[in-house]
Structure formats: C-alpha cells, structure tokens
Amino acid sequence: MTAAHPIQYVKGVGPRLGEKLAARGIRTPHDALYFFPRDYEDRRKVIPIRELQAGMTAPVRGKILSVTGGKAGFRTTRLLEIVIADGTGRLSAKWFRFHPSLAERFRVGDAVTLCGPVRWFRFLPEMHHPEILAEEDAADPVHSGRIVPIYPEVEGVPPRVLRKIQWEVVQRHALLEVECFPAGILERAGIPPLQDSLSSIHFPRDDVDVARFREFSSPQQRRLIFGELFALQWALALRRAGTEREEAVPLPWDREIVGEIKRRLPFELTGAQRRVVNEILKDLGNPHPMHRLLQGDVGSGKTIVAWIAAMVAWRHGVQSALMAPTEILAEQHYRRFDALSAGLPVRVALLSAALPPKEREAARKRIRNGEADIVVGTHALIQESVEFRNLALGVIDEQHRFGVLQRAALRKKSKTSPHLLVMTATPIPRTLAITLYGDLDVSVIDEMPLGRVPVRTKVVTEDGRRKVYEEIRREVARGGRAYVVLPLVEESGRIALRDATRTAERLREAFPGVGVGLLHGRMKAAGKEAVMRRFHEGDLSVLVSTTVVEVGVDVPEATVMVVEHAERFGLSQLHQLRGRVGRGIRPSSCFLMTGGEQGEDAAARLSIMEQTVDGFRIAEEDLRIRGPGDFAGVRQSGIPDLVFADLVRDASILRMAREIASELHREDPNLSAPGHVGIRRFLELRSAAAVGQD
C-alpha cells in the first residue's frame, strides 16, 4: 500500500472509520501525515501525586483504594469515582459519562495509570475523564511514556483510536516521503528533512523541547512553515523578474525641472523625503518600469513625493495618474497639485465617479487626447472607458485600500509598462508587507516633518465627556478644528446616519455659535466637497463624520480628534484617524471614547494607543489580535491562506525564505538543475492543489 491508497486499508481503520476520517478530509495516509496534532502532552514521566499542580496535565500511577458508583444494584449511577494512592498522596478520578463496562475495569488493589488535567476539589487533586494509560505495566509506545500528540477532534473516531491510526500511518509512510529541498538549503534554514519533520511532529522524540512543539516553533515544524513561505516567496520572485524584463519610457531628471520643483516646494523636505525622492528619480531614469512601494507613517509627507515624480514625468511630455481611495481624498490631492504647479503650463485634471456625467466625459476626452498631464482620481481612473494618450507613471495612494488587481488595472492603462509608485501609511506590518508587496522595491519615510508634536491620546469613558467638550471649546476658540468620528454600522447605515445627525445636533447645542458640519457616506459628492471645503477654510470648526475622513484627509489646523465607540475600530484604523490631527505645529489630542459593558476589555486593548504613536507597532499588535485576513488588501491579494505559517511568529523564517527564493531564482530560474527538480515538483503540486480548491 502507498500513501495514496484509501485510508481504510491502514491497520485498524476499515470501512466504517475510513468514512469518518474521509469526512474530515483524511482520505489517504498522505492526508493523515498532514493532519497535525493541535497540542502535545508530556507523558514521559509519571508524576508523584504530591507534585501535582492545578492546571497541569500529567500521568499519575497508583493503587486503587476505592471504586464508587458505576453500578448500584440494577441501576447505573451517573457518577463513577475511583480514588488512587501512590505513597505520596491521593487522587480522585471522576467520570460523568461512561460506558457501564468502565466500572468493571477497576478493582480495589490494582494499579492504574491515568492522565488528565488536574484540578483541586476539597483539598484533593482530581481528574475528570482522564485517559486510562495502562491497567498494568504494559509497554505502550503510542499513548504513554512519551510526548503524546493531541489531535483535533474527528467526529466518530475516539481520540485514542485516532492516535493509534496516526501511529500506524507514521510508522509506515513518513520515511517514504520525499524531501524536495537540497541539503544545502535545509542546512541554511536550520531545519531537518521532511521525513524527520513529519514523524517528529506526530510523535516527538524524547529529547525535544515540548514547549517549542506546543507553540509550533520546533525545527521540525519550521520545516513545514518554511516550505509554505518559500512557495509564496518564489511566486513573488517570478512576478518581480517579470517586471524587470519589461520596457518602460525612461524619465531621467534634469537640472531645470529639479530647480522648478525646488522653487515651488512650500516647505523644506525632510532628510527621509529627500532620500526617497532620490530613489524614485533614479528608478524613473531606467528603461525598465519602476515598481516601488513608498511606506511612511500617517502625516510623514508622502503626497509631495508623488507630486515631484509627476512633475518629472510632465517634463518629458508624458502623462501621470494618481489614484486615491475616496472622492474626498482625490479632490484634496487635485487641488493641492493644481496649486503647486500654478503658473506653469501643467494641466491637472480630476476624474471621479462623483463628477456630473458631462464633466466626467469632458475629463475623459482630455485624458484621451493628452490635454491632461496629471490626472488625479478615484478608482474611476481604471474603468474601461478611460483611455490615456501616453500614461508613463502611475501612483496609487493608500495602496492598502486597494488590491493587487487594481494595481494591475492601472498598469494596463498604458501601452508601454508605466512606472509605478504605490504609497501606504503602513497599517501593514513589515512581515505582511513582504508577503503582500514582495514584488516591489521599498522606500521608507521614517521621519516626521520638523516641529511635529506627538498627539496626546486618551481613552475616555462617558464620565470624561465634559472634559473632552471643554477641550474642543478651547481649541476652537483658538482657531483650531475638531473631528468627531462615528463608526459605520454596515448593515444599518440608516442607524449610523441617525446617530451622526443626532450627534451633530447635540454638539450644536453644546457649542452655540460654533460651526458644526456633518459628513457621511450617503451624501452626494458635491455636498461632501462643500462641507470639506468649509471645514478647511474654518467656516466650520467641528466636523461630525463617519469614517470617510479615515484616510488621507489633511487639514493642518485640526487639533482634536474624538472617536466615538472607539472599541468598534481596529487599532490600525484608529491610528489612521488619529493621523488626521497633529499635522501642524500645535499640540493635538485624540480622545477614544468607550462606554457600556465591554468598557474594560476595550480600554485594555485601546491602551496601546495611549502608549505609542508608532504605526508599525500598532499594526503588529493589530495583526496579533485580528490575524492577517482582516487587513484590507490581503483578501484580494491572491495570497493563498497560510496553513502552517503565522506572519507574526514566523517573521524570521519569512525573511529567510525570501532570501533563498530570490537567490535561487537568480541562479536557476527554471529550476532545471538536477538538485532543484524536487523543488519544481513541489511548487507544481502546490499550485495544482490551489487551482483545484477554487
């Protein structure tokens, strides 16, 4: 029998259990090899009863002192209890559900070995439903005297039976698996070959560190994690190599355009901004498309960098496009770009779905004829009806709001391959960035503009609301602005809207004479724009809004951010919201309002916001709490679900896999060397399986 035969032919399985296993996806011994324990129990040593502690799971061995219940006359009682003693103490074992024959297995005076979680009851240790390891001194390599695997539940297959089946499978099949990585790679990654990994993961040897097995970070487990991450990194290396071969219009800078740009900069660039501008200008001069990710925390000044790149493209008489995730943001960028290039014959155009049909058509026409040099817009930019005359540079702002698909769609708007710059405010941890954007070069702005004061953040309950309002009043009186943000309840947009309206009314009452505006997703574009403009100009001082202001909005006078029901937001989202203030030189505050019953839990989670303004740290924390699936962009990224790897825990393996995959791709892109054929097969099998899943 091979590992590909039906599971029912494994010793001890048969058709009935075979069906139960198949229902759990275990159809063959091969499947069983990859059905891993969810935990382990250390049963290497029997523990003296006196040394037991609550919460531990350990085998104990003792003589049976008493057997109570199980059967009383003709009636079977609900409780079976035995008490055992081992010379160091006594322990009681209880069963609340049991087969009547269980009671018959125990006889006073016999020895028995039990294993289960220990708890305390009336000064005595006890175990509920312990596993019976041995009734006499039988040697048993599967269930006792070793580190024992605990498998996820399989309906209809008792745990001990399942463990025995896995033992049979491992004995017969684990060593016949084929390792696809050459010894050199395994050694470099510090991992053992697959065969050893598989057998150890199921039945660890006695000399291993159980704790590491329990957290899935033993070298044997890392072998599987490595395989998974290697496959991912290989796919990214392929994509990267693809763009290196493409041709693009080179856009070298010259003194004149750089001089023009410098004269127009409204402030001095930070060192970090200067560094990334240099990296970008160097890329743009190449005859191959730039593929660069610009990371910089909220407020670090990415927009100006995009404008500089667009100006260099303009100098060459080609078009550039800037895509933003919201209408408000597109409109803001449009006005900023237009103002920055005032007096020059640079034609900036706005294209968003919010424009009236006539204007939209006019904009499209100018884009098609080449009468627009810099086009700013929302995802309306990548619609089919939009044609560029000679698009040579694409910039995507807040890339994490889009997916890789939109990135590809923007690239397709050009007859040649355009240079591409994607910008993100890093609510994406580094490890996730390598997987999401592994095909991009990375530039980082790791410095804030001079004079910024970190935003003071406080988690506030309802009792503190008065103080928060006082702060708003004080700041507004000084000419500042305040945001009050409400969560959007998706299923019931109506309720959210009512909440927002009511909040705005309450604030108008609280601050007579102060302009309070309301902004929400259901408003028409022109309405939103008008409210935003009035807030910008100071006609409105308080802006009540749903999360439409989350990304990108830039009103430097704003110094107060109040987030209602802050517990309903992810940490990265809160970080983005907080980034709307602290953009000028005045000190700013952010108040995270939480109330109700979940108050305390929420306050604990939110307190990280009080401790740090570092977007990376917050994103890592978010990743830890919520997992990668929740990060925008991950779902549509085409990244396969990771089964073994955990992007937080396995960051170092991820880097290693990336290094090895890139090197290997450089050396042997087709994996045709004799030593690499195994890897090729492994990758082919994986992608076949992935296609099969759809």
Residue 267 interaction partner, one of ligand ADP, Mg ion, none, beta carbon < 5-8 Å per kind: ligand ADP
Nearer to ligand ADP, 70 or 552 (CB): 552
Q: Is 395 helix (H, G, I), strand (E, B) or coil?
A: strand
**Among 211-219, 228-236, 264-272, 563-571, which window interacts with ligand ADP (CB under 6 A)?**
264-272
CB atoms within 10 A of CB 174: 21
Q: Is 296 in the site for ligand ADP (CB under 6 A)?
A: yes
**Residue 447 exposed, middle or buried by CB count within 10 Å (0-12, 13-18, 19+):** middle
* Token output for 448: 């804030």
Q: How far from 518 is each of 62, 132, 328, 482, 498, CA to CA, in Å?
A: 73, 67, 14, 12, 11
Q: Establish if 438 lies at the interface with Mg ion (CB under 5 A).
A: no
Return d(Cα 364, Cα 350) in angstroms, integer.
Answer: 10
| 115 or 425: CB nearest ligand ADP | 425
296 binds, among ligand ADP, Mg ion, none (CB under 5 to 8 A by kind): ligand ADP
In the complex with ligand ADP, the residue whose CB is nearer, 462 or 614, is 614
Position 552 contacts Mg ion (CB under 5 A): yes
The binder of 70, among ligand ADP, Mg ion, none, by C-beta within 5 to 8 A per type, is none
Whole-angstrom Cα distance, residue 394 to residue 423? 11
Residue 583 makes contact with ligand ADP by CB under 6 A? yes
Tokens matching residue 449 = 């503009």
Regarding 554 and contact with ligand ADP (CB under 6 A), the answer is yes
By the rule CB under 6 A, 556 interacts with ligand ADP: yes
Site track for ligand ADP across 449-488, x = CB under 6 A:
x---------------------------------------
Stretch that binds Mg ion, among 13-21, 354-362, 552-560, 611-619 (CB under 5 A): 552-560
* Cβ count near 254 (within 10 Å): 10
Rounded to the nearest whole angstrom, what is the least distance from the CB of residue 553 to ligand ADP in the complex?
Answer: 8
Tokens representing 286? 């190449």
Residue 299 touches ligand ADP, criterion: CB under 6 A: yes
Part in contact with Mg ion (CB under 5 A); list of ranges 4-12, 154-162, 545-553, 631-639: 545-553
Selected range binding Mg ion among 122-130, 243-251, 335-343, 544-552, rule: CB under 5 A: 544-552
Shortest separation between residue 318's beta carbon and ligand ADP, angstroms: 24
Are the C-beta atoms of residues 390 and 624 closer than 8 Å to each other?
no
Residue 399 vs 594, nearer CB to ligand ADP: 399
Identify which of 326, 316, 330 has the alpha carbon closest to the alpha carbon of residue 285. 316
299 binds, among Mg ion, ligand ADP, none (CB under 5 to 8 A by kind): ligand ADP
The least CB distance from residue 397 to ligand ADP, in Å, is 7
> Which helix (H) or strand (E) segment is 617 a member of?
helix 615-626
Least Å from the CB of residue 303 to Mg ion: 5
Return the one option of ligand ADP, Mg ion, none that residue 449 interacts with (CB less than 5 to 8 A, by type). ligand ADP
- Tokens 């699936």 map to which residue? 629
The DSSP secondary structure of 363-412, one letter per residue, reads: HHHHHHHT--SEEEESGGGGSTT---SSEEEEEESSGGGS-HHHHHHHHT
Q: In this chain, which stretch among 159-167, 301-309, 356-364, 491-499 interacts with ligand ADP, using CB under 6 A?
A: 301-309
- Map residue 525 onto helix, strand or coil: helix
Q: What share of the chain is helix, strand, coil (3-state, %, to 5)?
A: 45, 20, 40
Question: CA 280, CA 291: separation in Å to the nearest integer?
Answer: 10
Is position 227 an interface residue for ligand ADP (rule: CB under 6 A)? no
DSSP state string for 280-313: HHHHHTSSS--EEEEEE-TTS--HHHHHHHHHHH
Residue 669 has phi, psi (to 5 degrees) of: -60, -25
Binding flags for ligand ADP, 414-453, as an x/- string (CB under 6 A): -----------x-----------------------x----
The least distance separating ligand ADP from the CB of residue 297, rounded to whole angstroms, comes to 7
- Write the DSSP string, 533-556: HHHHHTS--EEEESGGGSSS---T
**Which range binds ligand ADP by CB under 6 A, 222-230, 262-270, 535-543, 636-644?**
262-270
**In whole angstroms, how close is the CB of 268 to ligand ADP at the nearest point?**
6
Nearer to ligand ADP, 308 or 563 (CB): 308
Burial of 260 (0-12, 13-18, 19+ CB in 10 A): middle
Q: Where are the alpha helices (DSSP H) in 156-254?
A: 159-173, 183-189, 194-202, 210-214, 219-245
* Least distance in angstroms from the C-beta of 271 to ligand ADP: 9
Q: For residues 139-158, which are near ligand ADP according to CB under 6 A?
A: none
Angle made by CA atoms 266, 272, 273, in degrees to the nearest 5: 35
Q: Which is nearer to ligand ADP, 199 or 457 (CB)?
A: 457
Closer to ligand ADP by Cβ: residue 28 or 300: 300
Instruction: Give the tokens for residue 321.
Output: 């496009």
| Token duo for residue 162 | 């399942």
Q: Is 300 in the site for ligand ADP (CB under 6 A)?
A: yes
- Strand ranges in 379-511 using DSSP code E only, listed in sequence order: 391-396, 419-424, 441-445, 456-460, 481-485
Q: Is 581 in the site for ligand ADP (CB under 6 A)?
A: no
Cβ closest to ligand ADP, residue 154 vs residue 609: 609
Q: Is the dihedral of CA 377, 633, 247, 302 positive or negative?
A: positive
Pairing of strands 319-323, 80-85: unpaired
Partner in contact with 556, chosen from Mg ion, ligand ADP, none, beta carbon below 5 to 8 Å by kind:
ligand ADP
CB 347 within 8 A of CB 375: no
- Nearest residue to ligand ADP by CB is 301
**Of 42-50, 119-127, 261-269, 465-473: span binding ligand ADP (CB under 6 A):** 261-269
483-542: contacts with ligand ADP (CB under 6 A): none
Q: What number of chain residues touch Mg ion (CB under 5 A)?
A: 1
**Partner from ligand ADP, Mg ion, none binding residue 145, C-beta < 5-8 Å depending on class:** none
Residues contributing to the site for Mg ion (CB under 5 A): 552
Residues contributing to the site for ligand ADP (CB under 6 A): 267-270, 273, 296, 298-304, 425, 449, 554, 556, 583
